[in-house]
Amino acid sequence: MSDLKVTAPQDGIVVSEDTQPNSVVRFLFDDHGVRGEIVHLHEPMQKLLECVRAYPPCVKGLLLELAAAAVLIAATLKANGTVTVQIQCGKGPKALNFAFINIDKDLHFYGNVLSDEIKFTEATFREMVGQGGIMVISAFPEGGTRYQGIVSLDKDSMAEALADYFKESEQLATSFLIQSDVANAQAGGMMLQIVPNIEGNLESLHHLTTLAATLQPQELFELSLHESLRRLFWNDKVRVFDPEQVTYRCICSKERIFRVLAALSNDELSDMIAENKGIDMSCQSCGKVYHVTIDELKDLLTAKQQSAQSQAAPQASAPQASAPDAKDAAPTPAAGPTIEV
């Protein structure tokens, strides 16, 4: 738990010493039976936006909001494992295909948007998710059972859709506030949720949500998270916990690239080697390009052939590469969404 120390005013705004960007802070209203989280992300969002450079600002904003939401959700579900938040878009002239954020228990995340050619520059949340769009939240707790919840995105904003999700899937009254600032590569938000079985918790949630709704993007992005809380809930006793760092980190690596290549047939590898120039493979999540040299391809083929010989049983048929599991699928030259599952 932290105290809420604030330094001298600066340009009329009280600025705390530590602005705590790129963090999520949990808090608890003991007297009200309401818990909450507040998040502000900047540097991780700069990296996330590099994945969607070609998209218009509205699409970038959607991904930023999804990332802020995913951080709040990951902390809420206490999954102690990976959480994936996906938007599977429906139909419509401005509907995207798919957007996702994956986030692990240490709050490292990555994500992307997938879409056919985009012929618009402006679109609302409803238009981008399209008619029939859904949000799928999946949690993969370490050593636990996979959990999945689905909610319709027939809403005007991501915050409304998320509130609906928790009401329908978790039976927990929850409110969300999500804000994004594409021009300055930042996003953030707040979640408030009842603590079950405490008298008056729903009324308190309503009261605190009304206060939270007055939080302006400028305040969220310029003040420390603690100071934002202090301004909003100055009249309510709130217990605030230490900030937890949030980082952008894609799961791709050269090793993963090699595992994907190892799953190709020897003929396919031979064809690549015959081109005599190596290959470039890009990560579908972050767009990072990995160059595989001709020598690396040759080594890979040799290793596969030797491995097949040593494993071949007398009656075995032609050696086959084993298919990569889904976790290894991130880097691949093929098109289509890729998500760690």
Task: Report helix, strand or coil for 117.
Answer: coil
195-203, 255-263, 281-289, 315-323 -> range binding Zn ion (CB under 5 A)? 281-289
For Zn ion, the closer CB: 207 or 288? 288
DSSP track, 154-167: -SSSHHHHHHHHII
**Alpha helices of the chain — where are they, by DSSP H?**
43-50, 57-77, 125-129, 158-165, 201-212, 217-222, 225-232, 254-262, 266-275, 294-311
Q: How many CB atoms lie within 10 A of CB 182?
A: 20
Helix (H) or strand (E) holding 119: none
59-67, 98-106, 152-160, 286-294 -> range binding Zn ion (CB under 5 A)? 286-294
Binder to Zn ion among 24, 283, 300, 301 (CB under 5 A)? Answer: 283
For Zn ion, the closer CB: 66 or 212? 66
Does residue 250 belong to the site contacting Zn ion (CB under 5 A)? yes
Residue 285 C-beta: closest distance to Zn ion, Å? 4
CA distance linking residue 332 with residue 251, whole number of Å: 13
CA distance linking residue 334 with residue 252, whole number of Å: 15
Residue 247 C-beta: closest distance to Zn ion, Å? 14
Please, what is the Cα angle at 312 between 310 and 316, to 5 degrees? 175
38-46, 50-58, 152-160, 248-256 -> range binding Zn ion (CB under 5 A)? 248-256
For Zn ion, the closer CB: 84 or 174? 84
Burial class (CB in 10 A: 0-12, 13-18, 19+), 105: middle
30-38, 128-136, 155-163, 246-254 -> range binding Zn ion (CB under 5 A)? 246-254
For Zn ion, the closer CB: 209 or 284? 284
Residues 183-242 that bind Zn ion (CB under 5 A): none
Q: Please say whether the beta carbons of 30 and 204 come within 8 A.
A: no
Binder to Zn ion among 102, 285, 332, 338 (CB under 5 A)? Answer: 285
Structure tokens at 106: 């240490």
Does residue 286 belong to the site contacting Zn ion (CB under 5 A)? yes
Residue 338 C-beta: closest distance to Zn ion, Å? 9
Task: Report helix, strand or coil for 123.
Answer: coil
Q: Please say whether the beta carbons of 288 and 282 come within 8 A.
A: yes
For Zn ion, the closer CB: 177 or 261? 261
- Count residues binding Zn ion (CB under 5 A): 6
For Zn ion, the closer CB: 137 or 283? 283
For Zn ion, the closer CB: 102 or 224? 102
Nearest to 109 by CA among 43, 166, 54: 43
For Zn ion, the closer CB: 147 or 290? 290
Residue 243 C-beta: closest distance to Zn ion, Å? 26
Residue 284 C-beta: closest distance to Zn ion, Å? 8
Nearest to 277 by CA among 257, 291, 261: 291
Q: Please say whether the beta carbons of 86 and 165 come within 8 A.
A: no
The pattern of x and - marking residues 85 through 124 that bind Zn ion according to CB under 5 A reads ----------------------------------------
CA distance linking residue 85 with residue 111, whole number of Å: 9
64-72, 74-82, 129-137, 251-259 -> range binding Zn ion (CB under 5 A)? 251-259
Q: Please say whether the beta carbons of 249 and 108 come within 8 A.
A: yes
For Zn ion, the closer CB: 45 or 250? 250
Return residues touching Zn ion (CB under 5 A): 250, 252, 283, 285-286, 288
